[in-house]
Structure 1
Amino acid sequence: MKEGTAISATKSLPPLDPRDPAGLGDLFTEDEKAIADAVRRVCADRIDPYVGEWFERGELPDVRGLAKDLGSLGVLGMHLEGYGCAGMSATEYGLACLELEATDSGIRSLVSVQGSLAMFAIWKWGSEEQKQQWLPSMAAGDAIGCFGLTEPDAGSDPASMRTRARRDGDDWILDGRKMWITNGSVADVAVVWAQTDKGVRGFVVPTDTPGFSAPEIKHKMSLRASVTSELVLDGVRLPADAVLPEVTGLKGPLSCLNEARFGIVWGSVGAARSCLQAAMAYAEDRTQFGKPISAFQLTQQKLVDMTLEYTKALLLAIHLGRRKDAGVLRPEQVSMGKLNNVREAIEICRTARTILGANGISLEYPVIRHMNNLESVLTYEGTVEMHTLVVGQAITGQSAFR
């Protein structure tokens, strides 16, 4: 017998973790694991005991207190450099999004909109004065931001936006409406995109500016533990230096959306994990015909299929995270991640619901809440149709958007 064969035959294998049967934990550094653990602990203490009630009531109480807690943790704009931001890696940011959405999609949305949309827009395209004015307080959670792009009649086609900005002397005057804006009613600053005579421009709008209002959208059946608003701009007068100086055209808002989509690639995996773990625990505890339902073949098939899709989604997220950290991640690859991972996550949640039976629709368990939330995640930051066409164009060279 060869020496290597003898060693391999006698060496004991590590135990298999039922929650990570493929051993994907080995792919993370100790620092990455520590960040995931820190976010998980804060969520377990600050959010998990209450989020089901918040969802049922359709509100997110004490948003400012929660934002400060998240700022103290360092997750607001955590992947940005300078200005009080943590400067962490894309993979570390992804793991934070995973843990936040394992708690609730609305909580991850709060962080994503703050860091990947509002803060990123100012960090990437703003003036030094705008960065100094807003980014440190936003990173600390002392100021909350929102991002105004989507309109009542312009969702997947932002080029057709009707919000306009016109010059009046040295000032800008903004008029228009934005819709489905996370954080809108509690924001201190809004990054608003508008048509101008020279193309789409972004504006940094303090929300106490006369003519700006943000009525909250009610009667949602998804993302209920989240503040969602309309932005109303009626003759909002801004100084000349309110415009983001470093970008003109849709490149500006689309670059921000790409940052937020990357967080969704990871966050959706967190929602899937939460439902998978709930289904596993329930199948072990629930007894029918004299044994736990986890002992039945059909239930095991569901659990195995869910585990496989969760594992593949996490592998894809890790791969895209490593590419982003290496500076070689393309927008089309983010579209692949968002399209696949949200689609598989929602299917995992629906399958978990069947394992829980009637209990699956109760807020005593997280499953129905994640199911409903993912219906929104499936649509925002690019619909299934849009990401399908992005990937289709990437692999065929043919555009099918029009």
Structure 2
Amino acid sequence: MKEKYLPKVCDGDAILSVAISESQVGSDAGNMQTSVEYDGGDLVLNGRKMWVTKAEHCSAFLVYARFPDDNIGTIVVDKDTDGLTLDNGTTNMTGHTQNELYFDDCVLSREQVLVHQPEAFKELMIEFNLERCHNAMMCVACGLNSMDRALEYAQVREQFGQPIEISRGSSGSSRIWQ
């Protein structure tokens, strides 16, 4: 799988997206219903995922699913897999489109299992927590950038022929936050 996907991702020719969330379980990913069953040498995937970012641009998805042994693992599902459909998507306030994925008897080879063992879900959640830290850092950076731009604009803004007044922080600084 590394040879198939990583070179294209590194070259910018492919995007992979994570599909973990399900509407019926909310934030309790451990209770996901999307499941994998064994069918001879193949796997059959059924279920649905929501809030999958950039799904319409992806080449494949990293799908979290429950295996017959009740452990949760991850399967790589190519976008053109029979039985996989995407809804039209919803665009959020930041302009990102998020789609819902439907898996209806998607037949996959066992080689498409990225990770599946008793501790796999716990390890995947540790990595997911690191992503949450990254997202929080991005939000703080966007907020600071917005404050800097607002302050810069406020310093040149005029209303009724005169500059607007800028609030001063407790130290007398022209910065709005301290």
The TM-score, its normalising length taken from structure 1, stands at 0.40
- 3-state secondary structure, aligned to 2:26: coil
Q: Which residue of 1 aligns with 2:78?
A: 206
Q: Which of 114, 127, 131 is 1:244 aligned to? A: 114
Q: Verify the 8 A CA contact 2:17 2:58 in the aligned structure 1.
A: yes
Does 2:38 align with 1:162? no
- 2:168 matched residue in structure 1: 300
Where does structure 1 lack aligned partners over 5 or more consecutive residues? 1-129, 309-402
Q: Helix, strand or coil for the counterpart of 2:175?
A: helix
Identify the structure with the greater helix proportion.
1
Q: Does residue 1:280 correspond to 2:134, yes or no?
A: no
Superposition CA RMSD, Å: 2.2
Match of 1:227 in 2: 97
Q: Say which SS state the counterpart of residue 133 (structure 1) adopts.
A: helix
How many residues get paired? 173
Q: How does 1:13-28 map to 2 (within 5 A)?
A: none
- Contact kept in structure 2, 1:216 and 1:227, CA below 8 Å: no
Superposition map of 1:132-143 within 5 A? 132-143=3-14
AA matched with 2:3: Q
Instruction: Kindly indicate whether the alpha-carbon contact (under 8 Å) linking 1:154 and 1:161 is maintained by their aligned counterparts in 2.
Output: yes
Identity percentage of aligned residues: 28
Residue pair 1:191, 1:205 contacting (<8 A) in 2 also: yes
Whether the 8 Å CA contact 1:202–1:252 is kept in 2: the answer is no
Tell me if structure 1 keeps the 8 A contact 2:73–2:116.
no
Shift of 1:262: 2.9
Q: CA deviation at 1:191?
A: 0.5
SS in 2 for 1:300: coil
Provide runs of 4+ in structure 1 moved above 6 Å: none
Q: Distance in 2 between matches of 1:223 and 1:264?
A: 14
What's the secondary structure of 1:179's corresponding residue? Answer: strand
* Change in 2 beyond 3 A, CA 1:265/1:247: farther
Alpha carbons of structure 1 residues 213 and 253: separation in structure 2 relative to 1, 3 Å:
farther
What SS does the aligned partner of 1:250 have? helix
Paired position in structure 2 for 1:111 = none
Alignment of 1:119-134 (within 5 A): 130-134=1-5
Unpaired runs of at least 5, structure 2: none
- Distance in 2 (alpha carbons) for counterparts of 1:254 and 1:187: 22
Q: When you count strand as a share of all residues, which structure comes out higher?
A: 2
Q: Establish whether residue 260 from structure 1 lines up as the match of residue 128 from structure 2.
A: no
**In the alignment, which of 142, 149, 168 is matched to residue 20 of structure 2?**
149
**Cross-structure match for 1:394:** none
- What is the CA–CA distance in structure 1 between the aligned matches of 2:113 and 2:22, rounded to whole Å? 20
SS in 2 for 1:277: helix
Q: State the shift of 1:305 in Å.
A: 4.4
Secondary structure (helix, strand or coil) at the match of 1:162 reads coil
Could you tell me which of 46, 64, 67 is aligned with 1:193?
A: 64
**Structural mapping, 1:1-400, within 5 Å:** 130-198=1-69, 199-218=71-90, 220-224=91-95, 226-245=96-115, 247-248=117-118, 249-288=120-159, 291-294=162-165, 296=166, 299-301=167-169, 304-306=175-177, 308=178
SS of 1:152 mapped into structure 2: coil
Q: Deviations over 1:77-121 (max 9, x none)?
A: xxxxxxxxxxxxxxxxxxxxxxxxxxxxxxxxxxxxxxxxxxxxx
How many angstroms apart in 2 are the aligned matches of 1:262 and 1:290?
45
8 A contact 1:146–1:182 mirrored in 2 = yes
Q: CA-to-partner distance for each residue in 1:313-357, whole Å, 9 max, x for gaps? A: xxxxxxxxxxxxxxxxxxxxxxxxxxxxxxxxxxxxxxxxxxxxx
Q: Distance in 2 between matches of 1:261 and 1:305?
A: 28
Counterpart residue number, 1:338: none
- Deviation of 1:259 after TM superposition, in Å, equals 3.0
Cα deviation digits, residues 285-324 of structure 1 (max 9, x gap) = 2234764224x4xx22496343x3xxxxxxxxxxxxxxxx
1:223–1:247 Cα change, 3 Å: farther
Quick check: 2:22–2:49 contact (8 Å CA) kept in 1? Answer: yes
Question: Which SS does the other structure have where 1:222 is aligned?
Answer: coil
How far, CA to CA, are the matches of 2:141 and 2:115 in structure 1?
A: 37
Matches of 1:140 and 1:255, distance apart in 2: 27
